[in-house]
Structure 1
């Protein structure tokens, strides 16, 4: 197994962990009587602030999977992991740090820090796409 595969598995694991956390949080709110019924707004607007942040962290991870996961899968499928292996763990670390900062705070400084971690991921994927295009064009 190489860095690209481990990173893809790590990213999928993050999404699953966040989903379990969200389900647990929503269940706790329901069972504590703070919310009646099992219907929740998709954006988390009907739960306390932590629930809203957790909802957004999960949604953001899923939203970004299309370009991050897609690029990792493309590299694996085309035997091009030599292109992605070098920065794969950096990307995964940036994803984890972005999620943690988002869970901890929504202050202006935290938002800027989160954006830096997003830019790291975005920049890495842009670099990978450029290298993959070079390989196949």
Structure 2
């Protein structure tokens, strides 16, 4: 598999990992009687700040998947992974860094670092889009 294929698989797997973590915690909350099974909001409002950040972090991945995952998939489907391969691992790394920082802190420095990781992803995405259209 190409670096592009690994990055796409990694991106999807990261979103799945975040979902699994969220559902493990939610299951614990239900089993221990702290939250009713039907007491969850999509954004985890009413739960801990960490759970709210986890929901938002997962949503960030899902929101980016059609864009960034789409570009990776286009490269694979058109046999043009030579365009995406060189930056594919950088993209995935920036996504994981962004998510991890989001989970850990909302301090001003953390928000700036998280945004920087997102800017890296956007720059890579714009570059891939431009090259794939050329």
TM class by shorter-chain length?
Answer: over 0.9
TM-score, structure 1 as length reference: 0.94
Alpha-carbon separation, structure 1, partners of 2:111 and 2:34: 29
Match of 1:120 in 2: 120
TM-score, structure 2 as length reference: 0.96
**Is structure 2 residue 67 aligned with structure 1 residue 95?**
no
Match of 1:35 in 2: 35
**5+ unaligned residues in a row in structure 1: which ranges?**
none
**5+ unaligned residues in a row in structure 2: which ranges?**
none
Determine which structure has greater relative contact order: mean sequence separation of CA pairs < 8 Å that are 6+ residues apart, divided by chain length: 2
For the aligned residue pairs, the C-alpha RMSD in angstroms reads 0.9
Aligned residues: 134
Would the aligned equivalents of 1:53 and 1:103 in 2 still touch at CA under 8 Å?
Answer: yes
Alpha-carbon separation, structure 2, partners of 1:4 and 1:37: 39
Alpha-carbon separation, structure 1, partners of 2:37 and 2:15: 25
Greater CA drift, 103-112 or 39-48: 39-48
User: Structure 1 stretches (4+) deviating beyond 4 angstroms?
Assistant: none
Would the aligned equivalents of 1:30 and 1:38 in 2 still touch at CA under 8 Å?
Answer: no
Alpha-carbon separation, structure 1, partners of 2:7 and 2:39: 33
